[in-house]
Amino acid sequence: MTKTVLILCSILIFNAVGIYSQFVFEDEFNNNNNRPTNQRPTNQRPINQPPINQPPPITERATTTTLAPAQYTSCFQSCRGRTTPQYNPVCGSNGESFNNMGLLQCAQACGQRITFASPGTCGPSPGGK
């Protein structure tokens, strides 16, 4: 029983010290090193900036490629094999629908000068408007 009480007291003291150390008091030797800073870690983006992975705005509608059609097809198929098969359609700036953002990025990597235009398919949905 004494051993149990001693263990419980030790746990309570440990927790009390842990809680106390989270607070900074004004008269604590006027040591500014103990004060929390309001700075964010450098790996966080500023609040007023868009997320890094957000697609850039549409600036062009050209769909020219730098590779010959056979090379583009080969490049795209190779890239397609490394992307997820998930269906989450996106519309490219060229008016072409892609099954997901990864495939649009494959088209870009293989030379198409397109950008993300909007989520979902381009144009009317099947059986819809």
The answer to whether residue 113 scores a pLDDT higher than 90 is yes
Query: What pLDDT does 129 receive?
Result: 36
Does 90 reside within a domain? yes
**pLDDT tens, residue by residue, 34-59:** 555 555 555 655 566 555 555 555 54
Does 20 reside within a domain? yes
CATH number of the domain to which 96 belongs? 3.30.60
User: Average model confidence (pLDDT) for the chain?
Assistant: 72
Split into its structural domains, the chain has a count of 2
Does 36 reside within a domain? no
Of residues 113, 112, 116, 111, the one with CA closest to residue 101:
116
Does 59 reside within a domain? no
Of residues 72, 97, 99, 71, the one with CA closest to residue 85:
99
How much is the pTM?
0.45
116-119 β-sheet, strand order: 97-98, 90-92, 116-119
Q: Which domain holds residue 26?
A: 2-31
62 vs 93: CA distance, rounded Å: 8
